[in-house]
Every structure is written in C-alpha cells, then in structure tokens.
A = this chain, B = another copy of it.
Amino acid sequence: MLSLSRLGEKGLIRRIARRVRVDSAVIRGIGDDCAVLKPPLGKYLLFASDMLVEGVHFRRTADPAAIGWKALAVNVSDIAAMGGVPLHAVISLGLPNGTPVRFVDRIYKGLTRCAARFGLNLVGGDTDRSARIVIDVAILGEVERNRVVCRSGARAGDHLLVTGRLGGSLKSGRHLEFTPRLREARAIGAKAPIHAMIDLSDGLGPDLVRLCEASGVGAVIEAERVPRRPGCSLGQALTDGEDFELLMAVAPPAADHLLAWARRRRNLPCGLTAIGRIVRRPKGTPVKVVDSSGGRLPVSLAGFQHF
C-alpha cells in the first residue's frame, strides 16, 4: 500500500492537482505560492473558513470521502447563509505520518465531488504532518450587493422560517453527507427579501440565540411547529446541531408569499416552515419556546460547546 511517506509532499500535491478541474476565473490554481483569480465584478466577496478535527467532527474510521465532502459542504453552507454563491476554496490538510495515499485520494474524492456539485474551484492549500487528521477549508464566494443577508437584520414582527427538518444529524450520520441549502437560499432570496439568516450548525436553539443577539431582538418559537426528523424529540430538534438547515427572519407579507410558493413541492423539495416570530429584545434570555396555548416551556437551548 502506497503511503504518504513514500509519495512525499510534492508527489501528493502533483497527484491532487491532476484530479482537480477549474473554470476560467482561475488564472493559476494549485501549485504556486498563491492561486491567482479574477475577482467578481460589481459584487461583494464572501470569505470564511471552517475546520474539522478528528475526534470532534468525525472519527478516523469514517469514510474519508464523507470527511472531504463535509469539510467543503460546511463552508458552502456558510456562503448559502449569506445569500451568496461559492467560487473558490483552498484546503489545508494535516495528516499523520504513514497515512495511506488511498485515504487522501478518498478525501479528495469527497472534496472534488462537492466542488463539482456546487460549481466551485479547488485552487490551493497546504499539506502538513499532524498527529490527528485536521482539514480546514477556506472559501471565497460572491453575492450581489443588494442580496447580502447578515445575522443582524431581524426586526420585531418578522416571521421565523426554517428549511427542512431538524434533529438527529450526528446520530444518523447525516452530518457527514448533508446537502448544503445553497440552491434553496438562492431561490428564496430571489423570491423575497430576507432580513436575517444563519445556517444551523450548533442547533436551532443556540443559533437562534446568536441571530437574536446579532440583531438586538428576541424570538418566540412555537414548539409544535418545529419540523422534526422522524423519531426526534423537540429537545433534539432544538439542540442536536449539525442540521445545516437555514433559519431566516422575513417580514410577514413576504413570509406568507414564500410559504405559499414553497408549498409547491417542486419549488422547494426540502420544505419551508414558519416556527415563530421575532419580538423586541426581552430583559432575560432572548429566545422563548411556547406550547400551543402560549405557555412557556422549560427547555434548555444550550447546544454543543467547543470549550
């Protein structure tokens, strides 16, 4: 079995470069000190990074193609959450000595599959020795100036809408093969103005708290409206995390318009659900979960904490 120690870093980079296809925005891709790119015209750039660490975001026994897919998909999800389109990515990969080349090939299989699916170029990065597998992706995207959606634009009275269904992503293994809601975010953004948006990585509860804090508002979730994955409790739907669905705040008339549009299944196969409202910033905790009679439910919204 060919190991990295025999192939060498240079051999590895050459091997990767051969497998990667790029479009005409790439003047120079993998193999130089930097990639050289044509900038988007008349739009804003989006720039983010997301790191996956063995033992935290995946186990070494996971399919490496799934690890590669996830590493890029979480970044595409960040671009989707801003209303934008992904363009280019660079990949930093830390690998234990003696890693079989087949393992790296499979990681790149997942990366290139995700890149092809969402129309983006892999243009560079770094490979290093590391006791544990680490994969960090930085992504560049673009967004029309009047289509940028931040976390901070939610206003009291907005409806809260969420794509798909929530809960059980880690347990079911879905977190390794999820589809970022890029197409959905673009379609929704073309239909109606979105005031604020966030992708659900830590869980509906903690991520809604984030959106509220960024916007200086509060929110009320109606428990029985939260769309759950089969077999998931409310608690799981609120705090399991890694759903990578989109949560957005939209003014009431636009929300009605969007919900009617989304009811035609072919417009939005994943579905769109109204789960509550943005309210003025309350004194205490910003997010309240209520039952159908409006009574407050004593649920914890604390999701996964890295530290």
Contact B34–A79 (Cβ < 8 Å) = yes
The oligomer's copy count stands at: 2
| Residue from A28, A99, A143 with most neighbouring chain B CB atoms (10 Å) | A28
Question: Hey, which chain B residues are within 8 Å of A142, CB to CB?
Answer: 39
Task: Indicate the size class of the contact surface on chain A.
Answer: 35 or more
- A116 on interface, CB distance cutoff 8 Å: no
Does A12 touch B at the CB level, under 8 Å?
yes
- Is A48's beta carbon under 8 Å from chain B? yes
Q: With CB as the reference atom, state the residue of chain B lying closest to A151.
A: B32
- B-chain residues with CB within 8 Å of residue A103 when the two chains form the complex: none
A34/B132 in contact, CB under 8 A: no
Closest to A29 in B: B47
Closest to A202 in B: B9
Q: Is A224 an interface residue (CB 8 A)?
A: no
Residues of A near any B CB (own CB < 8 A)? 3-5, 7-10, 12, 27-28, 31-41, 43-53, 55-57, 78-79, 81-82, 84, 88, 90-92, 94-95, 97, 99, 123-132, 134, 136, 138-143, 148, 150-152, 197-199, 210, 214, 305-307
Supply 9 further A-B pairs (C-beta < 8 A) apart from A49-B91, A99-B307. A31-B151, A32-B214, A33-B81, A33-B82, A36-B45, A48-B124, A49-B49, A49-B138, A95-B307
13 contacts between A and B (CB under 8 A): A32-B82, A33-B79, A38-B44, A39-B40, A48-B124, A49-B136, A50-B126, A51-B92, A51-B94, A53-B130, A55-B131, A127-B306, A131-B132
